[in-house]
Amino acid sequence: MNGMNYFPNYYSIEDIFVTQEKVECRVNTKLQRMGFLDSGAESDDLEPGKTVNLPLWYIKELKVNNAYFTVAVPDIYRNVHKAVCEAETTHIELGRLHPYFYEFGRYLTPYDRNHVIGRIIFETLRQRVRHLLDISKSDGQAAKAEHRLDNIEAKLHEAGVRTNSQYIEWLQMTGNKIRTSELVEEHQKKRRRADRSDDEGDALPNSKRATL
């Protein structure tokens, strides 16, 4: 319920997942003793011109045009995929491109000189909202597996499905029955189990006496 008004804070799990994604960066200057960042490095220092894969949380703390790394924008936000996004907005499977398409793109926007990413994610979401509204009206389960939505869209879809099921329940007047709470049920099960084991415990000496 609270995952949908998503304003990422330091502790939000999705934010941690997104910022853990690796981005390719090219080293611009010689960095002494930073060779550990590159797993296949021979020397202790990072030579300019090498490409390393660094996690996003590492890069986003640096200034955008810092002298040490140049961030390469991942392919999913470029060229072919960009054209596909614009052409087939509702049918493209964003979940398959990247599970956190929108958020990842949002973090990468300042690094993109051509201002492509920001516009793509904005336009794509705008076009897909109508589609989301429509599919959340249908039965939910089957549709979600087919369409492979991005994380943000999946949450919105879940909200839509929940609203729809509440409405249908109300129409058929099936919802809103008073149910026993889970704690009470668990307690009753435990009590029944305890009673049953007590009975078995009493039965054993009886049966022994009977055979004797």
Q: How far is the CB of 88 from other proteins (least distance, A)?
A: 16
CA-closest candidate to residue 101, choices 69, 123, 71: 123
Q: Which range binds other proteins by CB under 8 A, 44-52, 155-163, 178-186, 203-211?
A: 155-163
31, 50, 140, 164: residue in contact with other proteins (rule CB under 8 A): 164
- Using CB under 8 A as the binding rule, whether residue 73 contacts other proteins is answered as no
13, 33, 39, 63: residue in contact with other proteins (rule CB under 8 A): 63
Name 24's bridge partners.
53, 72
What SS3 class is residue 107? helix
What SS3 class is residue 31? strand
Q: How far is the CB of 184 from other proteins (least distance, A)?
A: 22
Residue linked to tokens 């000189």: 113
- Using CB under 8 A as the binding rule, whether residue 95 contacts other proteins is answered as no
- Using CB under 8 A as the binding rule, whether residue 127 contacts other proteins is answered as yes
* Cα separation, 137 vs 150, whole angstroms: 18
Cβ distance 92 to 85 under 8 Å? yes
Q: How far is the CB of 168 from other proteins (least distance, A)?
A: 9
CA-closest candidate to residue 26, choices 67, 81, 62: 67
- The amino acid occupying position 93 is E
Applying CB under 8 A, the residues found at the interface with other proteins are 4-6, 8-9, 63-65, 102, 105-107, 109-110, 112-113, 115, 118-119, 121-122, 125-127, 129-130, 132-134, 136, 152, 155-156, 159-160, 163-164, 166-167, 169-171, 173, 175-176
